[in-house]
Amino acid sequence: MMETYYYSQFNHAVVHVALFDDVTNSTAIRSRIIQAARILGVDGDTEREAINFAFIDARLISSLLHLQTAIYQALLSEAQGQLRTKTIHSEILWALNPTNNITEAIRRYGVSDASTTLIVIRVDVSNILDVQRRMCDIVQGSMVTFEALKQMTDWSTIKKHYKLDAEPALKEVQGKQDRERAIVNNIIVSSVAMKNVVA
Amino acid sequence: MSPTQQLLQNADLISQGAEAKVYKAYLRQLPTSGQARNAASDSPDHEVLEPVLLKYRFHKQYRHPSLDTSLTRQRIAGESRALMRCMKSGVNVPGIRMVDANEGVLGIEWIEGKSVRQLLPGGAELEDINELEEMDEVDDTDATDALAEYGVSRDALMDMIGVEIAKMHSSDVIHGDLTTSNMMLKKKTRDLVLIDFGLAYYSTLVEDKAVDLYVLERAFASTHPDSEPLFSGVLAAYEKRTGKNWVPIKRRLDDVRLRGRKRSMVG
Ligand SMILES: Nc1ncnc2c1ncn2[C@@H]1O[C@H](COP(=O)(O)OP(=O)(O)O)[C@@H](O)[C@H]1O
Ligand SMILES: [Mg+2]
């Protein structure tokens, strides 16, 4: 169910992504992330490594392509020494948000107390062992295939964040839900891809 | 070597213009069997990667490097913005998939299909590198056959072209290089897709829209024999879609044609 992507052009980076439904411990995950930054010494390093993932609320993700595009642009920024945030994982959140505000990106796309669907991502230089188990250790919920993403996407919030409601492309297909979603997906995937050049 | 240079190295060159090289590429790879075992993830073996089209604006030797980089960056930003504006206006254009402005590369959705040029008589001569292999197959009957294979009539194709250009102009995007090579018929959906926004810009001026149409008219005339009825079909659909804004554009198009003729008479 977990998906793994291979990128030889980024020093053979390997990216693992998994989708969780019925998540019950998002508050705990969030506080673990905040706490981990404060713990000193070896314990801190261990804890930081344990939660060294991107946690993304699945509601604002419209498709796997949307996610893959943000991952790609984050890998590119890292390779060019141009990360806008501290890590590749937070950079993925930054890439997903239409504005340049990092706090807003984390608030909107990161795990919140209300998250019940989560996407977990790990970017690594090679295949690490037990990634899937380590994800499941953190997230209480059920890992599902990305087929299930369709039922999780909150299209109206996405349209609001990207200010798409008044666009002619959407008006033209009013009432045709599938067409509209395909158009919104195409617009936001493209926005993520071009963010570096307009930002 | 930078990631994007590596990507280009593993990509297939499909055309080389004065400003840019165009490639078909994949942004990631399927796992080798060893990797798949290690990953313990059941990433489907049957997974098919979607190709992308990479447009690489290579360095110009005669330009100062930093000026070159910033010009390239502007071009890529401009092409991306034009595509985005079209998308939001409901014009069929390829989606954007990857942008590396530092390296001068724009990655867009791969459109599986044929250019309108290939689908019309006269347009079948060598257009890009790939067609080298297909040389013996190409002649006019093939253009007609290809269109028939798509289940699209020539009139319907002209109609679609007029509609897409009208939508683009009503969102004040001027294409800047309208030719039958820069539009494709998508195999899967039979949609007409406008491509190559490298010279596109934003303008509300009737003059710019009229010149855009005139450029296409000339392209039809120089590439496709007996193109008049074809291009009239394009204009009829454009007129229908443009409504009340058509009259001033039509008037200006007549002006532009006259200027064009005078210029060619003077030599
Ligand atoms: N999105 C695409 N999908 C598939 N083929 C494309 C796409 N964009 C361009 N092409 C092909 O590549 C050729 C060159 O691309 P184009 O963007 O027109 O660059 P140029 O500025 O060199 O003309 C096109 O004529 C077309 O045959
Ligand atoms: Mg072209």
Closest of A174, A194, A188 to residue A63, by C-alpha? A188
What pLDDT score was predicted for residue B137?
47
With a cut of 80, say whether residue B36 has pLDDT above it: no
Domain A3-198 fold: PF0523-like (3.30.2380)
Q: What is the ipTM of this complex?
A: 0.95
With a cut of 70, say whether residue B139 has pLDDT above it: no
Mean pLDDT of the region B158-178 = 98
Q: How far is CA A17 from the centre of its chain?
A: 9
Q: Is the CB of A198 less than 8 angstroms away from the CB of B77?
A: yes
With a cut of 80, say whether residue B79 has pLDDT above it: yes
List all residues of chain B from 17 to 46 with a beta carbon under 8 Å from chain A: 27-31, 35, 38-43
Residues on chain B touching A7 (C-beta within 8 angstroms): 3, 27-29
What pLDDT score was predicted for residue B84?
98
**How many angstroms separate the alpha carbon of residue B140 from the centre of ligand 1?**
22
Considering only the beta carbons, identify the residue of A5, A79, A190 that sits closest to B28: A5
Q: Where are the domains of chain B?
A: 3-33+50-109, 113-127+138-259
Residues with CB under 6 A from ligand 1: B 14-15, 17, 20, 22, 53, 55, 94, 108-111, 115, 128, 181-182, 195-196, 198
Task: Tell me which residues of chain A have a pLDDT lower than 50.
Answer: none
Question: In which band, very low, low, confident or very high, does the pLDDT at B42 lie, cut at 50, 70 and 90?
Answer: low
| Dist. CA B88–CA A188, nearest whole Å | 10
Q: Is the CB of A169 less than 8 angstroms away from the CB of B87?
A: yes
Question: In which band, very low, low, confident or very high, does the pLDDT at B267 lie, cut at 50, 70 and 90?
Answer: low
What pLDDT score was predicted for residue B125?
60
Q: Where are the domains of chain A?
A: 3-198
With a cut of 70, say whether residue B140 has pLDDT above it: no
Superfamily of domain B3-33+50-109: Phosphorylase Kinase; domain 1 (3.30.200.20)
| Dist. CA B119–CA B116, nearest whole Å | 5
Question: In which band, very low, low, confident or very high, does the pLDDT at B142 lie, cut at 50, 70 and 90?
Answer: confident
What percent of chain B has pLDDT above 90? 72
With a cut of 80, say whether residue B141 has pLDDT above it: no
More confident residue, B180 or B261: B180
With a cut of 60, say whether residue B129 has pLDDT above it: no
What pLDDT score was predicted for residue A163?
96
- Predicted model pTM: 0.93
At B247, which amino acid appears?
A: V
Superfamily of domain B113-127+138-259: Transferase(Phosphotransferase) domain 1 (1.10.510.10)
Q: Report the nearest-CA residue for atom 16 of ligand 1.
A: B196
Top mean pLDDT of B55-59, B215-219, B225-229 is at B215-219
Active-site positions of B? 177
What pLDDT score was predicted for residue B90?
97
User: How many other CB atoms are found less than 10 A from the CB of residue B46?
Assistant: 5
Question: In which band, very low, low, confident or very high, does the pLDDT at B66 lie, cut at 50, 70 and 90?
Answer: confident
What pLDDT score was predicted for residue B39?
53
Closest of A105, A113, A122, A144 to residue A20, by C-alpha? A144
What pLDDT score was predicted for residue B31?
85
What pLDDT score was predicted for residue B190?
95
Per-residue pLDDT tens over the stretch B94-125? 999 999 999 999 999 999 999 999 999 888 76
